[in-house]
Amino acid sequence: MRPTASPWKGRGAASSWSVPDALNGLLLISASAAGAFLLWAASHAPSVGVLLACALLFSLVGNTLFSLLHEAVHGSFSRRVGVNEWAGRLAAAWFPTGLSIQRAFHLTHHRNNRSASEQFDVIHEGDVRWLKYAQWYAILTGVYWLTAVLGVICYLLIPRMLRLRILRRSESRVALQTASGEYLAALDGVRPVPARLEILFSFAFQGTLATALDLSLVGWAACYGAFALAWSSLQYADHAFSPLDREEGAWNLRVSSLTRAFYLNYHFHRAHHQNPQVPWIHLPKLVDPSEPQPTFWRIWWAMWKGPREGAP
């Protein structure tokens, strides 16, 4: 049954809310500087403790940068289109991915949220169970981030891999369970040359960081491993076991004020799905206080029990 429409939904017409251009720019510069410093510090850490501390902090700063990429995807980083796009490309380089691909994928997610192809938390009759569990725990352990990065590498170097029938056919259980059919179809609408140039820019940026800061593989891997774990688990914790509805199917998760600050209100995810064009700084005003607001940790722990049989 479709939930009753929230009176808070649709209050966020894009023109009704100011875009914090200057603040976003300052955050992008500051987070980029912090990210570079933490990668350098992790690569030259005098002890394992310092290395782990740098990795933990990088996981937070990395999510600030991803949240800014998310703003650029929705055109909410800056009112100036050129600034919005180049800021998005820089933020994407930290992931690393490309702005055009991220936009295609993310807007597909908004269209398909909690549809049959995005019910990763539900085991349906006919599902390939091992694939359902593999995908689920890949999300929880950060492997999802790795597949996202490998995916853009495939798009850049071996695009034929992304045209395999098993990943695209509507009757393929793999395509349905992983949503690969719809997400890869979204790539067909992306201009290939600019998209590949953005990916090249991202990896050139990563290479420049590695060379200029004399990064070690251990330091880089520790930082990005921590980021992958934090980023990947949140990408579905804010949807897991929520109503099967495109706009209501997300949570406004409760987290600490410090965490919310680093993530730029990303945990107010239902408010975002109800009002996707509203800049992050205004989302707290669009949270319906009468709706459930579970803690992130409650959902995260529940996810470790695995996907559920039937409806959530």
Overall pTM surpassing 0.75 (yes/no)? yes
> What is the phi/psi pair of residue 209, to 5°?
-60, -45
pLDDT at 4: 37
The answer to whether residue 5 scores a pLDDT higher than 70 is no
Listed in sequence order, the DSSP H helices in 6-80 are 21-43, 48-73
> What is the phi/psi pair of residue 216, to 5°?
-95, 155
> What is the phi/psi pair of residue 241, to 5°?
65, 20
Contact call for residues 311 and 122 (beta carbons, < 8 A): yes
Candidates 102, 71, 29; CA nearest to 266 is 71
Q: What is the mean pLDDT of the chain?
A: 93
Strand segments, DSSP code E, in the chain are 122-123, 308-309
Candidates 52, 23, 57, 32; CA nearest to 262 is 57
* Residues facing residue 268 across a β-bridge: 252
Instruction: Write the pLDDT tens digit of every residue in 25-80.
Output: 999 999 999 999 999 999 999 999 999 999 999 999 999 999 999 999 999 999 99
Candidates 71, 90, 89, 72; CA nearest to 33 is 90
Helix (H, G, I), strand (E, B) or coil at 122: strand
pLDDT at 312: 56
Between 222 and 165, the higher pLDDT residue: 222
Instruction: Write the pLDDT tens digit of every residue in 90-131.
Output: 999 999 999 999 999 999 999 999 998 899 999 988 899 999
Instruction: Write the pLDDT tens digit of every residue in 213-262.
Output: 999 999 999 999 999 999 999 999 999 999 999 999 999 999 999 999 99
Contact call for residues 83 and 95 (beta carbons, < 8 A): no
Rounded distance between C-alpha atoms, residue 154 and residue 25, angstroms: 31
Helix axes 99-112, 180-187, angle to 10 degrees: 140
Q: With bands split at pLDDT 50, 70 and 90, how would you rate the model's confidence at 169?
A: confident
Q: 118-136 burial, b if ≥16 CB within 10 A, otherwise e?
A: bbbbbbeeebeeeebeebb
pLDDT at 36: 99
Least confident of 121-125, 173-177, 248-252, 279-283: 173-177
